[in-house]
Amino acid sequence: MTVSPARRPFVAANEKALVPVRRGAPPDAQILPRPGPAEWARRRRAQKEARRIEAAGNRAVARVENMGPAWHVVEWPRTDLAAPSGRDGKAAQVEQAGFLAIGPGGVFAVTVANHGRTRVLVAGDVVQINGRRPPYIPAARREAKQASKALSRAVGHNIPVVPVLTFVGSGVISVYGLPPDCLVIPYQDLDRLLAAGGTRISAHTAEKLSAVARHPNTWFNGSHQADADQYRWYGPNESVTQRRPATTSS
């Protein structure tokens, strides 16, 4: 049996629709009409997807938090993503979680993609999930570039940020070629990936960078300025224990 929504009563142009008013409400109070079935279903789907994205982001964050107090997780303003138009010709909005992971290995802009049980195909810069190709990898690079620009402007020193795309789900991930300048990893191995970079910055520098990243001015006007000597990056053949800066900050 099919149940159709009730028809709305016809209201002439010179008449006003009767809107019920709650008891105790002010006389001039206006109550917005209830959304229709289609709008209600759309909101329910959006809320469900938001919860799924939040849960996926929490799983990835937990992997970083398990690495110890030397690593810091920072949320930062991220740009919205729009996927290419599908078969219906409409642009699909791509929502995903993301955060900054700052620790001895450096600064990483982690983008979290939730694929559930769906198989993921990765071939260079192309990611295909359920027949669609969301721009995850180009967006991850763009987010890392944005974070690097904001942090570098804030501290007065070049702060490299590595883009990372991590997948949360139980579906198979098939890789036919890794993209350049972007790390791709399942979220179960995210902590191992971040720790594989070794020690590029000291724990004190990581803590100061996380404090700068949490400050709102860093992302909007970059008014915070710091001495460039306070932030030292070590090369691939160096470590914190091998070489120390000539000057140390108080």
Q: What is the pLDDT of residues 131-189, one digit of tens each?
A: 899 999 999 999 999 999 999 999 999 999 999 999 988 889 999 999 999 999 999 99
* C-alpha pair distances (Å), 2 with each of 5, 34, 119: 10, 22, 35
Nearest to 162 by CA among 193, 135, 134: 193
Domain ranges in the chain?
Answer: 40-83+94-226
Quote the CA–CA distance of 184 and 189 in Å, as a whole number. 10
Q: What is the pLDDT of residue 56?
A: 74
What's the whole-number mean pLDDT along residues 79-108? 65
**In 24-155, which residue ranges form alpha helices assigned H by DSSP?**
37-65, 136-155
What's the whole-number mean pLDDT along residues 204-211? 94
Q: What is the pTM of this model?
A: 0.68
Instruction: Enumerate the β-bridge partners of residue 81.
Output: 94
Q: What is the pLDDT of residue 42?
A: 76
